[in-house]
Amino acid sequence: MKKKLAPFILGLGLVSLAACSNEGEENTESASNEEGDVEFGSVLATSDAGDITADDVLNQIGTNQVANQTFQLVLDKVLTDKYSEELSMDELNKEIEAEIEQYGGEDNFAMMLQQSQPGMTVDKYKSQRVSNTLNDLYFADYFEITDEEALDSVRKSSHILVSFAEEGEEGEEAAEGEEEPAMTKEEAKAHADDLKAQLDDGADFGELATEHSDDTGSAQNNGELGYVSKGQMVEEFETALFELEPGQISEPVESQFGYHIILNEEMSGEDTPKEEVNKIKSTLVNEKIKEDPSQALQAYRDLLEEYNVSFENEEIQSYIEETFLSADEALEKAQQEQEDAAAEEESEGAPTEENAEEDAAAEGEEESADTEEDAK
């Protein structure tokens, strides 16, 4: 669960820097009201001892939290205006609801959110998804990433994995619950060669993957891995995949996980869903920002200038400038935390997307139908 939520919770949007700049401070609930906006007025309560004003409450919350929320709301308002015709809220909501159902419904999803990031609620998660989608659209435009460039950077892939036991473990069960003992390296190679021969004779790739692949996560979906970008898979897999012509199937490729038979699937811009293209663009944006974090800061400065944004309170203005508009060190720290999280995920180990088997086991417990393809 933690891995699947990472792209949204640990996104590169500068709004995530609030956590870095407020270490030690207690997080507060969002000021949004689920029942709609409320006109609070300047005076919230009166008494013989004195009035309680909106400023009193804001001061109690703290300048930093108020400034963070102000900056977030400004970004949301500006980006919503800028991309009102490109962002389909109906489609995004369907995507979010499908994700929630994938984890067994809203109650289970809420529990997983709490485990992944204490204090995160389903409503907050939905709001964050909208914010992140808007930011992704903006940065893709800012860096002038076209659909063609995005699709050229990935391959749509499927694979069949034939795993083998480590030296000295031959004849033992490779994992709890497996009926057959793990094959030796030689046996696995012979089996992979036989599967490749069947494919050369016209056998259906998906059927063989479902029946024979030891990557149980992708095997449930005909061996499909979805869109694979560079740096996402182990080096041997990546090198072989990106050398294949569209529609071509590789010879068995050895990696630390076993032997892979890799299919580079045919794909075109017309057949690729727009949401998938946007996800690929987001990956390219992250790569560009990692290369030069100052680009993200300049992008936000340019956006605020384009919309003539002015923060009327001097303390809020000062905090936002220091935290979001010139916070190179803070941005680099946020990115380092994201990289550390990604490294932790990779260390869990698995043949596809580094932990497909673990995801499949979780699926079985939750009786989910399909796995969400892991993104970098």
Binning pLDDT at 50, 70 and 90, where does residue 352 land? very low
pLDDT, tens digit (0-9, with 9 covering 90-100), for 301-319: 999 999 999 999 999 999 8
pLDDT at 40: 83
Distance CA 160, CA 255 (A): 13
Per-residue pLDDT for 48 more than 90?
Answer: yes
Binning pLDDT at 50, 70 and 90, where does residue 20 land? very low
pLDDT at 147: 92
Per-residue pLDDT for 100 more than 60?
Answer: yes
Residues 6+ apart with CB under 8 A from 61: 28
Q: What mean pLDDT is predicted for residues 165-183?
A: 60
131 and 75 Cβ atoms separated by less than 8 Å: yes
The residue behind tokens 């000295």 is: 168
Per-residue pLDDT for 375 more than 50?
Answer: no
pLDDT at 10: 32
Q: Which two tokens stand for residue 175?
A: 């994992």
The residue behind tokens 């962002």 is: 87
pLDDT at 13: 44
Residues 6+ apart with CB under 8 A from 286: 12, 376
Per-residue pLDDT for 373 more than 60?
Answer: no
**Torsion sign across C-alpha atoms 333, 335, 341, 346:** negative
The residue behind tokens 């944004």 is: 309
Query: For residues 109-130, b (16+ Cβ closer than 10 Å) or e, as one string?
Result: bbebbeebbeebeeeebeebbb
Q: What mean pLDDT is predicted for residues 278-286?
A: 90
Binning pLDDT at 50, 70 and 90, where does residue 38 land? confident
Tell me what the pLDDT averaged over the chain comes to: 79
Q: What mean pLDDT is predicted for residues 134-163?
A: 94
Nearest Cα to Cα of residue 134 among 90, 71, 92: 92
Residues 6+ apart with CB under 8 A from 335: 12, 289, 290, 293
Residues 6+ apart with CB under 8 A from 328: 293, 294, 297
88 and 144 Cβ atoms separated by less than 8 Å: no
Per-residue pLDDT for 331 more than 50?
Answer: yes
pLDDT at 117: 87
Q: Which domains does the chain have, with CATH numbers?
A: 2-22+50-148+272-366 (no CATH), 155-264 (3.10.50.40)
DSSP for residue 326? S
pLDDT at 3: 30
Distance CA 43, CA 274 (A): 48
Q: What mean pLDDT is predicted for residues 113-123?
A: 90
Nearest Cα to Cα of residue 315 among 7, 50, 128, 58: 58
pLDDT, tens digit (0-9, with 9 covering 90-100), for 212-254: 999 999 999 999 999 999 888 999 999 999 999 999 999 999 9
